[in-house]
Amino acid sequence: MLNPNRERTSKELEGAFIGTLLGDSYISNGNMFACEQTSENLIEYKKILLEQLTGKNINTSVRQRKPAVVHNNKHKSTFKPSHSTKARHELFKKLREQLYVNGTKQVSMSILKRLTDEGLALWIMDDGTMYYSASNHTKYMRICTDSFDAFSINQIQQFFSERYNIATKIYMHNSGKGSIKKPRIQFNAANAQKIISRVYKFTLPEYYYKLNLHYTDKTLKSKRCLSEYVNAVSYMSQHSSPTQLGEDIV
């Protein structure tokens, strides 16, 4: 991947932060940017962005989460340690005013227009997933947008159409019995190739599985695959272990 320590312009930094704010990161009432997740490498990535933005040394912290009963199972599951980082900056005050108009995150086209490809990569690392349908051997890339309202979902779909000429669908995700279905942005395999071709160089190798369409060499040589996507697969194969890309399916 591209060196996370490379210098970025102020617009590039803003575009990257917008991406992760669409994902797992948030801005508190006190205009504090914060993020907590299990990947230490991804937190270190975000720490680098924070240090470039603020010009200060930024700390990270780790905590061991206690075993807990999940999904109504009778046994306890042990969670991985979680890593976090946080910082204040004038940019986050501005972004909070724009993102949290009604107290909760709401996405507008004015925000999305400043999203960069690196920001999109961070969004996918945070909330992207690849779904494989065994019934028709089809892969779908999805971005978890469960917490966004109908206006935000509409704006996100419009953004992908205008910026990347990509049509998206809404997949209504059911997280469990009795739960309310939530909307997620879905890309078919052809459009997923377009997204992957834009974000792979910004993606940490441990997240390549979220970009893996599991095509065989025969499929990669066919007209089904964009040349840009074939280049992306070649790049990721050279920069990852076999377990990070997984095995071919179709």
- Tell me the C-alpha to C-alpha distance, in Å, between residue 174 and each of 23, 77, 144, 177, 234: 19, 21, 12, 8, 35
Integer Rg of the chain from CA: 19
pTM for the structure as a whole: 0.91
Q: Which residues of 63-85 are buried (b: 16+ CB within 10 A; e: fewer)?
A: eeeeeeeeeeeeeeeeeeebbbb
The string of pLDDT tens digits covering residues 37-95 is: 999 999 999 999 999 999 999 999 999 877 655 555 555 566 788 999 999 999 999 99
Q: What share of the chain is helix, strand, coil (3-state, %, to 5)?
A: 45, 20, 40
Over the stretch 124-172, which tens digit does the pLDDT of each residue have? 999 999 998 877 778 899 999 999 999 999 999 999 999 999 999 999 9
- Per DSSP, the three-state class of 173 is strand
Domains of the chain in start order, with CATH, are 10-100 (3.10.28.10), 123-245 (3.10.28.10)
Burial track 224-237 (b if 16+ CB lie within 10 A, e otherwise): ebeeebeebbeebe
Q: How many CB atoms lie within 10 A of CB 108?
A: 14
Taking CA atoms, 130 is separated from 27, 89, 233, in Å, by: 27, 34, 15
